[in-house]
Amino acid sequence: MDRLDAIRLFVRVAESGSFSAVAREANIGQPAVSKQVAALEAHLGAQLMHRTSRNLMLTEAGQAFYEAGVKLLSDLEAAEALVGVGQSRPSGLLRISLSAGFGRLHVVPQLPAFCSRYPDITVETLVSDRFVDLIEEGVDLAIRIGVLADSTLIARRIGATQRVTVASPAYLEAHGEPAGPHDLNRHACIAFIFQRQVRCWSFKTAGGLLEHWPKGAVRTNDAEHVRVAALAGMGIAQAPRWLFSSDLNEGRLREVLTDWPGEHAPISAVHPGGRRPPGKVRAFIEHLGAAFARDPELAPR
């Protein structure tokens, strides 16, 4: 038994609550993970986990060993980092949770340069518009847009985006341009659904934020469907500028209500708290943050 590998697996099992999730993450069989943890328990002479068919729970000894193991691994990574550039290259499987539209347009295009620089890292993108539980699902890093509610996660702001209100020239020619947010009630609006609820539109005014609940014939839980519906002249849409950037630049869509701008939203890279993130996570955050800083539409504000 390699004790250090066994400790790493034990810590990940304790954090995720799942032997199978850790096995997938490590690209080994679940029996191998169970065998390593059992061997560690035999070496220590103590039971570290209570296992049932539904879940597992750390024993008192397991909790104490988990905390010591987290510190040990964090200190080891810090010591390796002190050796110098090139002495310890980030490696392993990096699992990233991100939304479909933002991932396709702004994260995946950054992967060629990242993978060229870090050839020992394998990147696995997990596309979902829901907020996944990073620990439970064995995810190393998530890219999230908007205000973060989960205080157990460590977040680094790597960019920002502004919400804009747009429509196609054909729609505006047929229905006219809204004179203000109050005028949207007579227009078809393309609504975005998040967690089964229509997302409210907001506009900055001298008196604070003005809210509007969009109504129309089309609503969807996919950002790119919002874009396509707007291009098809189905109504007015509001979404982050990055979604419509090329369409606005090339005239396929026009921004409306420019005197009532939408909110700015932070773009954050988040990872589980409790210990220093692995080198592969730190490397990707630095890479993506640097790329966004060069993009005037995504640079932090």
CB 111 within 8 A of CB 284: no
Of the candidates 132, 259, 239, 245, the residue with the CA atom closest to the CA atom of residue 192: 239
Domains belonging to the chain, first-starting first, are 3-83 (1.10.10.10), 161-264 (3.40.190.290)
pLDDT in tens, 8-61: 888 888 877 788 878 887 788 888 988 999 999 999 999 999 887 667 888 889
CA-CA distance, 284 to 173, in Å (whole number)? 45
> Mean pLDDT throughout 244-252?
95
What pLDDT, on the 0 to 100 scale, is given for residue 267? 93
Does residue 86 carry a pLDDT above 70? no
Residues 6 or more apart whose Cβ sits within 8 Å of residue 41: 47, 48, 49
DSSP string, 93-126: EEEEEE-HHHIIIIIGGGHHHHHHH-TTEEEEEE
Residue-averaged pLDDT of the chain: 87
264-272/153-167 β-pairing: antiparallel
279-293 and 60-83 are packed helices; what angle lies between their axes, rounded to 10 degrees? Answer: 60
Q: How much of the chain exceeds pLDDT 90, in percent?
A: 51
pTM score above 0.85 = no
Give the number of other CB atoms < 10 A from CB of residue 294: 8
